[in-house]
Each structure stands twice: as structure tokens, then as C-alpha cells.
Amino acid sequence: MEKELIECIVRSLVDEPDQVTVNVIEGEKSTILELHVAESDIGKVIGKQGRIAKAIRTILSASATKGGKRAVLEILD
């Protein structure tokens, strides 16, 4: 659920949506989502002073909390 949500949001932001990948690492109480985007799109995903990344993490957190888990988004280059 969270993986599809992140993919949908990020693909609408970047210039190269076909290079967006999300790897999910499941833990007992938390889930880690590793986001990979094209090198030229990293700035678009992070935003000025990290505002877009923070907004994406807020949406992810709300979605995960609804399911009773904790989710962490890592943006990898």
C-alpha cells in the first residue's frame, strides 16, 4: 500500500518517472522504503529546504499509522 502511494506521488514530480523505484524492507514494527530516482530528479523530490521530502514523509507516516505500523522513507542517490 505505502509503496504504491510513494511511487504515485514521486512519479508525478519527476521528469523521468520510469526510473523511480521503491524497495520495501519489512521489519516487525516498522517498514523502510528506499526511494531511488534519476540523479537529475533528486532535487525535485527533496525540494527547497527539504519541504517536498518532508511532505511525502508526512503522508507516508499518516498512511502507515492507519495500518498500525511505522514507516520510514529513505531517499537514495
Confidence at residue 64, expressed as pLDDT on a 0 to 100 scale: 87
Domain assignment present for residue 52? The answer is: no
Q: Domain range for residue 23?
A: 1-41+64-77
pTM strictly above 0.75: yes
53 Cβ neighbours under 8 A, 6+ residues apart: 45, 46, 47, 73, 75
Instruction: Tell me which of 28 and 31 has the higher pLDDT.
Output: 31
**CA–CA separation, 24 vs 3, rounded Å?**
7
- Whole-angstrom Cα distance, residue 19 to residue 48? 22
Q: What pLDDT band is residue 2 in, cutting at 50, 70 and 90?
A: confident
Specify the pLDDT at position 37: 95
In a domain, residue 12? The reply is yes
Tell me how many domains the chain contains.
1
For the stretch 35-76, pLDDT in tens is: 999 999 999 999 999 999 999 999 999 988 887 889 999 998
Rounded CA-CA distance 29/24 in Å is: 14
Q: What burial class does residue 58 get, using C-beta atoms within 10 Å of its C-beta: 0-12 exposed, 13-18 middle, 19+ buried?
A: exposed
